[in-house]
């Protein structure tokens, strides 16, 4: 399981970085989204791979890490997901405005 | 009875309070603004008059509130005699300037901004003089630079004003940073930032090895603020500010802040050769140079600006002489200068206001049109020139007397009286020019209107100040002497010298110097008059105004060419590589993988999910250039795999939120795609350099991906520490947070402040998106209706039995009926998620997104017009309400004396329903919900509305971007 998760984080991050280095604004937008999946999963993976132990307290079960997974990475990622959405929205609108203004979709606003 | 300490707090608070109020008043409320500002100045004068008995004889009123005591940071207000004099000056002249500004500003000017900045400046200035903590003093110091910047640039449409404002900010704020550095060094030497402790530690400071750097840094701060050589160039350019600002900030108060600091630190930093050899030459050069340049200015305000520089130089020179009597003269001259220079600026403003020009060459013979103003200006200018029976004469006499005294017997010391007399001659000459060329001679010929006296209340402040000049000049011992005594005693303590302010000391050397200066000044004026003033303009000095800022700019540009690029790709490439290398640093010399690894059993289903996910990710990277829609769909495939991972690995909250964000992002990008014209694949061209770049980027991507994978693997195969923070949150979630969903409790309770910050970011982003789209200019190729819509509409037009738009409606008929029916269902789901959030997966974020999806579906089903006819969609208000809820939940903890955002809960018994568990957390989460809902909906419908706006059709088609 760890191997699969690590590989997927690597694939998402690699694809994201590749796209971020491209010259078209839309590629960068998509690349940032991919990279944020990777980063979110990376932070999430810091809580280790655990199945069937959501951090939702059940009566009678002692509140220890033996019974529940680590809630801290989850809390961090939850905010990150929402902020990612905000970032995507802002970038998208800037992208559209730049496309209208510059008459091309190069990240520098002009074809080099 | 209110205590003196709280009075000080009131004194510092009301200008800022007034500034807020002033900023909210209507645009044309000139009278109300002036009453407000003037009223505040009057109250301040009242407060300080009341406090006067408590500060005579070297007493100090002091109030302290601990802030971060561990770091030596307290909010300390401290009023001694010297600060008192300054405070009275700031408020007295402030009040007069407010009255004057009421008449000076034209009805077209947005006065709320003006008075708001002026009041805030007054508060900042008071903050400097009342600060008992050095860090606090620097804070207010920078605040004055900041408001000075805003006030110089008040007429934003004027590029000269903007440039002047920038230059002033660059110089004074940079000086402020130096002062900050100096103050930190002082604090390091003494071990405290408390002013009282600093003032007692003079010997310690002077004998410390860090004395010289401290002194230089503080002097740079003080001299740049007071426009002393070599920093004098910013002040003349600041004259593009409205005249009340010049009168107030750039002659009477802000530029004196530097002098204030010099006087304040004189007892601890002064008395050394370094002080003498830095401060005195700077003052002398400024004094002579300013007076010389003032003679050749053709702008009335230019004359006054250079004259201000020169008089500040005189004061600095006095302080540099390092003798107690010189200090007395410096403080005295500082007060006198404030009165006559403020009145002269106001007079210049009146002339500008009534004639439409400030050019001395165009003005002439104004005495016959405005005799009263002319007389007032004459008296004030005579005070500036140092004519007997006026206040300027008294302090200038003291200055002359000090220059004759022997200080260190150097050549400079011997030459001092001659320099002083020459500069005084210049100042007589420019004062004479100011009066004679403007008010006498033939009637002006180049004016567009006939000047006349200003409204009485506009002249009134000038009258008051001129009367002060006269009274102080004639009976100094009965008027100014006690206050001067108090100020000097506060600085020097028991070392305060005896001094005599009599107007007649007999025929002595200083009087003789005054006579020479007066006679010589008239001579210089007559000589220059015959040359017409312009011919003698000195090129290397007058150009000096322009040069420094240009040089800074060109140097910066040259540097930028070498070390920077405007292109994004190299920047990102560098950023990614640097981030990767920095990430490697902590790993150096350690085993990345532990010797024993605990691996969990591989689940085939999970492997399949991620096989698809990885393929999706790679395909997205491959397709995003030309096939945007395909890339988007593939992207969501990877997102879906992420989502399943969250469910599978015990994170239901994350899965829920990820799923909802996935939906909303998808809709958003689809809406955006409609405005992104297709890319032409035929333009594909490759050369070797491009291929090379691709290989480099591919390597970077592979290395970063592999590195991140390895790093996460290395963490995951290590056992989890037992004593980490996770254990704390699990154990305390229910006892302290009252919730069973630990993630939700962390978000809204333990880390509530983070969440508050996050929803603030959401608001800012949503409003930015909204604002950007209001002036959105789409690419011209994308303005026409999309291809599919054109085909459908052409079909409607070709068939007479169909009305336009019918085909689209038909296509969407079944989905739209389903979507409409879903509205209450999804809405209920949202409320359900919200209510269970504290104990089960859900919460404000998920609920807000769900509700947003419900609304967006209606837009997709019926179009914007249809929806907005039926439901009221006010996302901005929802966001505002949400923010108020979140803040209210946070502040409610204050009521019972807990810190901000402490959660409170209790069980309330309601009739019929029974015991209900209530918590402020619910209110906070409700705020989160409203903000997430509002922000999401605002972004989506702002984009959706573009279709209506551009086409101006009754029936919008927001979803067609997908086609």
Is residue B610 less than 8 Å (CB to CB) from chain A? yes
Over residues B264-283, the pLDDT tens digits come to 999 999 888 899 889 999 99
Residues in B closer than 8 angstroms to A53, CB to CB, are: 650
Quote the CA–CA distance of B121 and B789 in Å, as a whole number: 59
Q: Is the pLDDT of residue A112 over 70?
A: no
Q: Report CA B939 to chain centroid distance, whole Å.
A: 28
CB contact under 8 A, B651 and A54: yes
Please state the domain count of chain B.
2
The predicted pLDDT at position B915 comes to: 65
Look at B837 and A46; give whichever has higher pLDDT. Answer: A46
Is residue B776 less than 8 Å (CB to CB) from chain A? yes
Torsion of CA B99, B100, B101, B102, to 10 degrees: 60
Residues in A closer than 8 angstroms to B742, CB to CB, are: 55-57, 68, 71
Quote the CA–CA distance of B413 and B280 in Å, as a whole number: 10
- Domain assignments of chain A as residue spans, ordered by start: 2-51+69-102
Band (B946; pLDDT cuts 50, 70, 90): confident
DSSP string, B759-795: HHHHHHHHHHHHHHHHT----GGGSSPPHHHHHHHHH
Query: What average pLDDT does chain B have?
Result: 87
Over residues B202-226, the pLDDT tens digits come to 889 999 999 999 999 999 999 999 9
Q: Which of B569, B777, B939 sits opposite A100 (nearest CB)?
A: B777
> Which of A96, A19, A65 has the alpha carbon at shortest distance from B783?
A96
The percentage of residues in chain B with a pLDDT greater than 70, rounded to a whole number, is 94
Q: Is the pLDDT of residue B506 over 90?
A: no
Over residues B59-114, the pLDDT tens digits come to 889 999 888 877 778 899 999 999 999 999 999 999 999 999 999 988 888 889 99
Nearest chain B CA: its distance from A57 CA (Å): 5
Residue B212 lies in a domain: no
Strand partners, B909: B915
DSSP string, B333-373: HHHHHHHHHHHHHHHHHHHHHHHS--BTTT---GGGT-HHH
Convert B153-190 into a string of H (helix), E (strand) and C (coil).
CCCCCCHHHHHHHHHHHHHHHHHHHHHHHHHHHHHHHH
Residue B385 lies in a domain: yes
Q: Last residue of some domain: B537, B561, B585? A: B561
Q: In the CATH scheme, what architecture does the domain A2-51+69-102 have?
A: Orthogonal Bundle (1.10)
Handedness of CA B547, B553, B556, B558 (dihedral sign): negative
Give the mean pLDDT of B626-646. Answer: 94
Cα–Cα–Cα angle for B365, B436, B361, rounded to 5 degrees: 70
Give the mean pLDDT of A8-27. Answer: 94
Tokens of B947: 């279709």
Give the mean pLDDT of B321-339. Answer: 91
Cα dist. B386→B323, B377, B431 in Å? Answer: 22, 14, 10
Residues 568-597 on B with a CB inside 8 Å of A are: 568-569, 572-573, 576
Torsion of CA A82, A88, A94, A96, to 10 degrees: -130
Instruction: Supply the DSSP symbol for B918.
Output: E
Cα dist. B625→B246, B484, B693, B782 in Å? Answer: 57, 76, 16, 18
CB contact under 8 A, B743 and A3: no
The predicted pLDDT at position B825 comes to: 95
CB contact under 8 A, A34 and B751: no
Over residues B5-24, the pLDDT tens digits come to 889 999 999 999 999 999 88
Nearest chain B CA: its distance from A61 CA (Å): 11
Residue B216 lies in a domain: no
Residues in B closer than 8 angstroms to A69, CB to CB, are: 649-651
CB contact under 8 A, A78 and B845: yes
Nearest chain B CA: its distance from A111 CA (Å): 11
Q: What ipTM does this complex have?
A: 0.96
Cβ neighbours around B579 below 10 Å, total:
11
Quote the CA–CA distance of B938 and A90 in Å, as a whole number: 12
The predicted pLDDT at position A110 comes to: 81
Q: Last residue of some domain: B513, B528, B561? A: B561
> Taking the CA of residue A71 as centre, how many other CA atoms within 13 Å lie in the half-sphere pointing to its CB?
29
Nearest chain B CA: its distance from A46 CA (Å): 6
The predicted pLDDT at position B954 comes to: 36
Give the mean pLDDT of B539-555. Answer: 57
Q: Is the pLDDT of residue B156 over 70?
A: yes
> Which of B294, B442, B446, B444 has the alpha carbon at shortest distance from B381?
B294
Band (B962; pLDDT cuts 50, 70, 90): very low
**Of B491-500, B695-704, B909-918, which range is least confident?**
B909-918
The predicted pLDDT at position B539 comes to: 43
Residue B887 lies in a domain: yes
Quote the CA–CA distance of B138 and B564 in Å, as a whole number: 33
Give the mean pLDDT of A14-43. Answer: 94
Q: Is the pLDDT of residue A91 over 70?
A: yes
Residue B489 lies in a domain: yes
Q: What is the rounded end-to-end Cα distance, in angstroms, of chain B?
A: 75
Domain residue limits at B759: 732-963
Q: Last residue of some domain: B541, B561, B581? A: B561
Residue B641 lies in a domain: no
Give the chain B residue whose CA is nearest to the CA of A102.
B779
CB contact under 8 A, B841 and A54: yes
> Which of B86, B59, B65, B76 has the alpha carbon at shortest distance from B136?
B76
Pick among B579, B645, B740, B749 to test the A interface (most A CBs inside 10 A): B645
**Of B33-42, B668-677, B863-872, B922-931, which range is least confident?**
B863-872
Per the CB < 8 A criterion, the answer to whether A95 and A29 are in contact is yes
Quote the CA–CA distance of B165 and B235 in Å, as a whole number: 10
The predicted pLDDT at position B321 comes to: 87
> Taking the CA of residue B854 as centre, how many other CA atoms within 13 Å lie in the half-sphere pointing to its CB?
21
The predicted pLDDT at position B447 comes to: 80
Nearest chain A CA: its distance from B740 CA (Å): 5
Give the chain A residue whose CA is nearest to the CA of B610.
A8
The predicted pLDDT at position B903 comes to: 76
CB contact under 8 A, B672 and A92: yes
The percentage of residues in chain B with a pLDDT greater than 90, rounded to a whole number, is 48
CB contact under 8 A, A53 and B650: yes
CB contact under 8 A, B743 and A27: no
Residue B117 lies in a domain: no
Convert B391-453 into a string of H (helix), E (strand) and C (coil).
HHHHHHHHHHHHHHCCCCCCHHHHHHHHHHHHHHHHHHHHHHHHHHHHHCCCCCCCCCCCCCC
The continuous run of DSSP H or E covering B28 comes out as none
Residues in B closer than 8 angstroms to A24, CB to CB, are: 624-625, 679
Residues in B closer than 8 angstroms to A55, CB to CB, are: 650, 730, 741-743
């Amino acid at each position: 399981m760890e191997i699969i998760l690590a590989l997927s984080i690597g694939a998402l991050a690699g694809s994201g970085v590749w796209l971020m280095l491209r010259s078209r604004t839309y590629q960068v937008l998509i690349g940032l989204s991919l990279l944020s999946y990777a980063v979110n999963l990376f932070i999430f993976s810091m809580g280790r791979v655990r199945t069937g132990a959501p951090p939702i307290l059940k009566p009678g079960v002692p509140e220890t890490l033996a019974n529940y997974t680590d809630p801290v990475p989850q809390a961090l990622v939850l905010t990150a997901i929402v902020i990612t959405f905000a970032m995507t929205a802002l970038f998208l609108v800037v992208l559209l405005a730049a496309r209208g203004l510059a008459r091309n979709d190069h990240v520098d606003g002009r074809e080099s | 009875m209110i205590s003196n300490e709280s009075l000080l707090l009131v004194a510092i608070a009301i200008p800022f309070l007034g500034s807020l109020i002033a900023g909210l008043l209507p645009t044309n409320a000139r009278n109300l603004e002036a009453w407000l500002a003037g009223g505040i100045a009057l109250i301040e004068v009242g407060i300080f008059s009341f406090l006067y008995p408590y500060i005579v004889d070297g007493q100090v009123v002091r109030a302290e509130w601990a802030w971060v005591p561990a770091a030596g940071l307290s909010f300390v207000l401290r009023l001694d005699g010297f600060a008192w004099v300054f405070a009275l000056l700031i408020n007295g002249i402030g009040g007069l300037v407010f009255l004057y500004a009421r008449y000076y500003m034209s009805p077209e000017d947005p006065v709320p901004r003006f008075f708001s900045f002026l009041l805030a400046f007054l508060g900042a200035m008071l903050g400097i003089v009342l600060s008992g903590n050095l860090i606090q003093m620097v804070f207010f110091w920078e605040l004055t630079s900041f408001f000075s910047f805003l006030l110089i640039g008040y007429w934003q449409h004027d590029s000269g004003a903007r440039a002047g404002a920038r230059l002033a900010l660059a110089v004074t704020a940079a000086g402020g940073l130096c002062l900050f550095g100096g103050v930190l060094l002082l604090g390091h030497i003494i071990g405290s930032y408390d002013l009282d402790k600093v003032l007692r530690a003079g010997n310690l400071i002077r004998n410390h090895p860090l004395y010289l750097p401290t002194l230089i840094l503080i002097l740079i701060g003080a001299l740049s603020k007071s426009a002393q050589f070599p920093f004098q160039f910013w002040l003349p350019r600041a004259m593009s500010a409205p005249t009340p600002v010049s009168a107030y900030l750039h002659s009477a108060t802000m530029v004196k802040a530097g002098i204030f600091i010099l006087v304040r630190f004189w007892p601890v930093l002064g008395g050394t050769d370094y002080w003498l050899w830095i401060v005195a030459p700077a003052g002398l050069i400024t004094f002579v140079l300013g007076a010389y340049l003032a003679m050749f200015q053709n702008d009335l305000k230019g004359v006054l600006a250079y004259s201000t520089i020169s008089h500040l130089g005189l004061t600095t020179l006095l302080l540099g002489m390092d003798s107690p009597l010189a200090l007395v003269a410096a403080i005295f001259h500082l007060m006198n200068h404030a009165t006559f220079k403020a009145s002269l600026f106001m007079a210049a403003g009146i002339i500008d206001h009534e004639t439409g020009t400030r050019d001395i060459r165009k003005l002439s013979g104004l005495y016959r049109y405005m005799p009263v103003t002319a007389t007032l200006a004459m008296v004030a200018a005579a005070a500036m020139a140092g004519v007997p029976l006026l206040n300027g004469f008294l302090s200038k006499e003291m200055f002359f007397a000090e220059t004759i005294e022997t200080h260190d017997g150097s050549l400079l010391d011997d030459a001092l009286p001659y320099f002083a007399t020459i500069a005084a001659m210049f100042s007589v000459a420019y004062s004479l020019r100011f009066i004679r060329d403007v008010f006498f001679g033939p009637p002006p010929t180049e004016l567009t209107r006939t000047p006349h006296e200003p409204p009485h209340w506009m002249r009134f402040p000038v009258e008051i100040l001129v009367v002060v000049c006269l009274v102080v000049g004639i009976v100094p011992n009965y008027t100014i002497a006690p206050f001067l005594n108090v100020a000097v005693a506060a600085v020097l303590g028991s070392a305060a010298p005896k001094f005599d302010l009599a107007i007649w000391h007999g025929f002595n050397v200083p009087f003789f110097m005054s006579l020479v200066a007066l006679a010589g000044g008239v001579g210089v004026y007559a000589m220059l008059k015959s040359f017409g003033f312009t011919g003698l303009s000195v090129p290397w000095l007058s150009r000096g105004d322009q040069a420094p800022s240009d040089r800074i700019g060109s140097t910066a540009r040259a540097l930028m060419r070498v070390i920077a690029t405007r292109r994004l790709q190299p920047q990102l490439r560098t950023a990614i590589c640097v981030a990767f290398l920095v990430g490697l640093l902590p790993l150096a010399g350690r085993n990345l993988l532990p010797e024993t690894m605990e691996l969990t059993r591989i689940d085939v289903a999970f492997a399949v999910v991620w096989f698809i996910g990885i393929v999706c990710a790679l395909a997205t990277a491959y397709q995003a250039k030309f096939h945007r829609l395909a890339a988007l769909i593939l992207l969501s495939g990877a997102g879906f795999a992420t989502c399943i991972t969250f469910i599978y690995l015990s994170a239901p909250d994350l899965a829920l939120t990820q799923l909802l964000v996935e939906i909303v992002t998808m809709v958003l990008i689809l809406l955006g795609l409609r405005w992104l014209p297709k890319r032409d694949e035929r333009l594909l061209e490759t050369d070797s350099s491009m291929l090379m770049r691709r290989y480099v980027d591919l390597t970077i991507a592979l290395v970063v991906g592999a590195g991140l994978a390895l790093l996460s693997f290395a963490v995951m195969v290590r056992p989890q520490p037992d004593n980490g923070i996770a254990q704390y949150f699990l154990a305390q979630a229910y006892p302290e947070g009252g919730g069973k969903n630990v993630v939700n409790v962390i978000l809204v309770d333990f880390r509530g402040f983070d969440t508050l910050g996050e929803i603030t970011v959401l608001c800012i982003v949503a409003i930015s998106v909204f604002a950007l789209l209001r002036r959105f200019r789409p690419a011209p190729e994308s303005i026409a209706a999309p291809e599919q819509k054109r085909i459908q509409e052409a079909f409607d037009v070709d068939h007479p039995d169909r009305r336009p738009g019918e085909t689209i409606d038909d296509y969407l008929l079944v989905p739209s009926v389903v979507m409409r029916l879903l509205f209450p269902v999804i809405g209920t789901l949202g409320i359900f998620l919200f209510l269970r959030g504290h104990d089960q997966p859900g919460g404000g974020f998920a609920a807000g997104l769900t509700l947003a999806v419900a609304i967006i579906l209606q837009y997709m089903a019926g179009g914007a017009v249809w929806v907005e006819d039926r439901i009221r969609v006010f996302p901005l208000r929802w966001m505002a309400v949400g923010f108020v809820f979140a803040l209210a939940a946070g502040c409610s903890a204050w009521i019972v004396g807990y810190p901000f955002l402490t959660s409170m809960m209790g069980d309330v018994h309601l009739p019929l329903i029974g015991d209900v568990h209530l918590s402020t957390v619910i209110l906070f989460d409700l705020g989160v919900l409203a903000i997430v809902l509002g922000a999401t909906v605002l972004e989506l419908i702002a984009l959706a509305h573009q279709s209506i706006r551009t086409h101006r059709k009754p029936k919008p088609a927001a979803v067609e971007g997908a086609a």
